[in-house]
Amino acid sequence: MSNTLDASGAGSDTPNLDFAGTTPYEDYVQADVLTHLQHPRSDDPGEMVFLVTTQVMELWFTVIVHEWETAARALREDRVPVAMDALKRSLRELEALNASWRPLAQLTPAQFNSYRGALGEGSGFQSAMYRRMEFLLGEKSASMLVPHRGAPRVHAELEKALHEPSLYDEVLRLLARRGLPVPQSVLDRDLSRRYEASPEVEAVWTALYGDPDAHPDLHRLGEALTDVAELVWRWRNDHLVATRRAMGAKTGTGGSAGVSWLEKRASKNVFPELWTARSHV
Ligand code: HEM
């Protein structure tokens, strides 16, 4: 039936045009929903790309959280290759996330001011999906749940993530199961607190990096985690530089000191011992 209705009248080598309801593409992608979620709050034509870039980043955060949760679960089940596949996908996704800074990277203060007022107290600081990324990296903090008290689903998801082992906790548990001397105090740590670097864990990575052939899969896992950490650091620094260009040393819409606050956040290393161990190899 559909083949008789194609635009050229040619034959069966052209796409179908005839659908009783919404297209199967729409049913899968929900593009109509997705492309009607953009509601700029000012008349400034530059606000649209600010809003869409933020939404695009939220979607990438969502995919990356999915990958890291997949990786954490696979590590728990000792399925290292499955975890590596998810981590490697997340590396390409982090690169795409970071590339999406381009449209906002050179905002001038006058351009940003054209719609800054319309944002009110809104700030990426209130992004729950970004917080879930941080929690998976081991950067836990119960206080980050407070802004979401009024949103039950978001709050429940974040609270669950706060109490679950992070990706890094699962890595350290795997290293322990493989006979490496990860201290019991690290394995039994309060999962809802920020992960603090441990000299014994640093020594474990030092040994793994000193003799990569002893546990080649764990050495490759360490390098994949280092790639993740580097790309997260790059996101934070690209955000910092874009912010410095757009608003100098002004305070943020979210109420922080702005650039000086972001500088402190960006100076912390994800998976700390994977960086410090390198000095001892
Ligand atoms: C160039 C435009 C942007 C400027 C000037 C800017 C500015 C800021 C500032 C000043 C903060 C600190 C908190 C505050 O007081 O508001 C912040 C935090 C944050 N922003 Fe942006 N931002 C920009 C774009 C974006 C975009 C597109 C995203 C994507 C979702 C984003 C995500 C975040 C996140 C996740 C935080 C929290 C960081 C943390 O907790 O360490 N920002 N931003």
Does the beta carbon of 125 sit less than 6 angstroms from any atom of ligand 1? yes
Domain boundaries, the chain: 1-36, 49-109+123-280
**pLDDT > 90: percent of the chain:** 96
Rounded to the nearest whole angstrom, what is the distance from the C-alpha of residue 239 to the centroid of ligand 1?
7
Q: Which atom of ligand 1 is nearest to the CA of 53?
A: 27
pLDDT at 169: 98
Mean local confidence (pLDDT), 24-31: 98
Nearest CA to ligand 1 atom 23: 243
Q: Provide the mean pLDDT of the chain.
A: 96
Contact call for residues 158 and 134 (beta carbons, < 8 A) = no
Chain segment 195-254, per-residue pLDDT in tens: 999 999 999 999 999 999 999 999 999 999 999 999 999 999 999 999 999 999 999 999
pTM of the model: 0.96
Signed CA dihedral, 184, 189, 195, 196: sign only = negative
Does the beta carbon of 124 sit less than 6 angstroms from any atom of ligand 1? yes
| Residue 12 pLDDT grade (very low, low, confident, very high; cuts 50, 70, 90) | confident
Chain segment 139-174, per-residue pLDDT in tens: 999 999 999 999 999 999 999 999 999 999 999 999
Does the beta carbon of 100 sit less than 6 angstroms from any atom of ligand 1? no
Model confidence at 270: pLDDT above 60: yes
Q: Specify the CATH architecture of the domain 49-109+123-280.
A: Up-down Bundle (1.20)
pLDDT at 137: 98
